[in-house]
Structures are given as structure tokens and as C-alpha cells.
Amino acid sequence: MMSKQAMFPYYFPEEIFLEIFCKLPVKSLGKCMCVSKAWNSLIKNPYFISSHVSHQSKLRRTKDNNLFFVMTGRHEVEYSLHSDDQEFRKYAQLEYMPFDNHHSIVGACNGLLCLMDFQFSFDSIFILCNPIIRKSITLPKPCLSSLPYKISVGFGFDSAQNDYKLLKITKKGVLDKYVEVELYSLKRNCWKILAPPKYDLYSDDFMVYVNETVHWIAYERVNNEGSYSCKLLILGFDMRDDVFKEIMLPERLRNLPHQSEIYVIPYDELSSIAVIELGSLHAECDIWVMKKYGVVETWTKMYSLGKLGTEPMPRVLGFRKNGDLMLRTYNNLRLISRDPESNEIDYFGIQGRRTYVCNYTESLVLLDRVIDDAMTENRANYASNANRSTE
């Protein structure tokens, strides 16, 4: 029989611990941090945090452990995680949320939620929050702080710099020719103003993050011998290189009929994007998928859907692992799942006027972040502004 010393050696190389820790869920790592100062320091290391979230993201894509973050509610907003199984089983109720019911969720990336609030002032208030480790930071005020006519915001990750970034595009007035662009970097904890693209904002939908790029619908006003028309396209902003890029839409979608509408959603199965085309009066819906990201020729109309009874077409929120669609019904605001082939509907008993759904990966991001004096001052300034605006 082996002695205890032989069975449990006093020393393992650090690489062994890192490999083991990378495979553990966040809850288990929280317990490991209490074992020793050495383990605590190892788990808080920025390199390990990045390695862990990368491993967990790959695990989510390859195994049947996909999670959805769900925000919903009628009077009080609730936040929860749900497993992507047949029953849409509740995985966890999220109790820690450092914001009120007036915030909107811009997006989620590597376990971080980005939130925006216009409630108290003309300034945009942005918060980054990791609800799993119960940590959040309030961002500095943007450089351009006037109340815009239209705004679109996108949140994503720059893997080259291990940095989280927030892109904000605004249009001051309906007659303004150009938009204004700002970019926030978490690593530098500051905003910078960027040269604007030549395209206008099509809507104030939040941007969609795929392949280290945030995407939104834009348009260009085209003069055809004195007759003006709007040419639609997808505009992207590459978080790694901080550059804009154009993605052409299918020809059918470049000039939409009156009262039609389009918007972008992620298509995770192919690490690509999809475009939802809502027909006149939301009577029908076509779903276009770019089967090879960035290749215009691979746009394919995957599905054409009709209404559910007399109610207008539900809003398409995303795709499930099994190919079903996550929808929010138009009238009673229920969260449902619909098989686009058979049109079979699953009801989850989730309903609310403010429903947001996205894929989610538990992570330790922000664990190593120190809430320094500058960030504390940002919180104080926002609180002061909020108090003054309510007086």
C-alpha cells in the first residue's frame, strides 16, 4: 500500500494546477481560492482568468452545456441563467445586480454584461458587471455627452490586447449629415473620439458581437439623378484593429420596401451573423444567414415564417443549439421557442415587458480588477448627477 506521502506529494508544478483549474466552473474556483494564498493568487492572475474564459467558451460550443442569460419582468425585473435543454431549466437565479429597472442591456461577452442608462441625465451611464463573481464597475463619462437623436452601442473583446471595448455611435439631430463615434477601453479606462464612417444609423438597436467585431445596420443616401434612395448594408467595427468594415447584404435587402424592417442577430453555430427581415406590418419574417462569415456570396435565406394566429410576428432574439428560434411574442411579451421547420412551439412560463436573452459563459472576468479612486469618483459623479436631476 502506498504511503500518504507517495499518494499526495507536497509539490505539483504550477502548470498542473493551471490545467486543472481551467476545467473547473467558477463556483468551484471560488472554493479553491479559500484553500491557500498561493491558489488565491494563481486564480486571480489575469493570464489565468483569460485562459479560463477561453476554455469555458470552447466548452460551451462543443458540449451540451449552453447557457442563456435572461432578463425579464413586469414590475420588478428578474435576472437568471437557463440551460439550453428541452425544458429551458433554470440554472441559477442571479441576485447581484448593481443597477435598477431602468437599465438596458447592451450585450454580453465572456461573462461580462454591459448596461446603459439614460434615466437621470443627458449623459449615458454605462456599467460593466460580472454577476457570477458579484463585481461591477461604472465607466467614465463619454466625451460626447449631449442627448442624441439616435444612439447605437456595441460591446466586445479585443483578444490581442486582452481588452474589453465599448463602441458608441450617436446622431445629434435628424438633419445632421454625420454621426459621432467614441470608443471606450477597459484597459485604459478612458474614451477616445474616432473619425466617423460615411454611413448613417438605420436604427437604435444595440450592436451584435461576433468574431471580435460588433455589427449593426447602416445606410447610405444615394442620389439617382435627383431622386434619393437609401442603400442598406451591415457595418462592422473590428475590436482588434479599431477599424470599420463593410459587409454587403443580400441584394434583396439593400433597398427595403416601405414598412419593412431588418435587424442583425448572432448565428453562433457558424460563428457568423443572421439578418431578420420583417415584412410589411410584421405579417411575415425571413431569416437570412451568412454561412461563411465575411463572404457575401454565402448569404442564404434559411427560413420563412408566418404569424402565430392573428398576432404580428414575434421578435427573433436568437438561436438555440438544436436550431430552434428564441422569440418574444408581440402582444403578451412571452418568451417562447419555435421550431422553424415544424412550427412547433414551446412555452417557458417567462413573460415580461422587458425581455432580453443572450448566450452566456460564466467567467472570472473583473476578478483581478481593482476598483480604484478614479472609478470610485465616477460612481460619485453619476450619483451626484442623478440627485441633481431629480431635485
| Statement: residue 328 has pLDDT above 70 | yes
Domain boundaries, given as residue ranges, for the chain: 12-56
| pLDDT attached to residue 326 | 95
C-beta neighbour count of 182 within 10 angstroms: 19
- Residue 288, C-beta contacts closer than 8 angstroms, at least 6 positions apart: 250, 253, 274, 275, 276, 277, 299, 300, 301, 302
Going by DSSP bridges, is the β-strand pair 325-328/315-319 parallel, antiparallel, or unpaired? antiparallel
| pLDDT attached to residue 99 | 65
- State whether residue 6 is helix, strand or coil: helix
Task: Count Cβ neighbours within 10 Å for each residue of 349-374 and write b for 16 or more, e otherwise.
Answer: ebbbebbbbbbbbbbbbbbebeeeee
| Statement: residue 380 has pLDDT above 60 | no
| Mean pLDDT of the region 291-320 | 92
Nearest to 63 by CA among 290, 291, 361, 317: 361
Task: Tell me the torsion sign for CA atoms 105, 356, 234, 209.
Answer: positive
* Average pLDDT value for the chain: 85
At which residue does the C-alpha cell 470599420 appear? 244
| pLDDT attached to residue 375 | 47
| Mean pLDDT of the region 263-267 | 96
Are 206 and 195 in contact by the 8 Å Cβ rule? The answer is no
Query: With bands split at pLDDT 50, 70 and 90, how would you rate the model's confidence at 64?
Result: low
* 15 against 33, higher pLDDT: 33
Of 126-130, 224-228, 264-268, the one with minimum mean pLDDT is 224-228
| pLDDT attached to residue 379 | 40
276-299: pLDDT as tens digits: 999 877 788 999 999 999 999 999
Share of the chain above pLDDT 70, in %: 86
83-120: pLDDT as tens digits: 999 889 999 998 877 666 678 899 999 999 999 886 54
Query: With bands split at pLDDT 50, 70 and 90, how would you rate the model's confidence at 315?
Result: very high
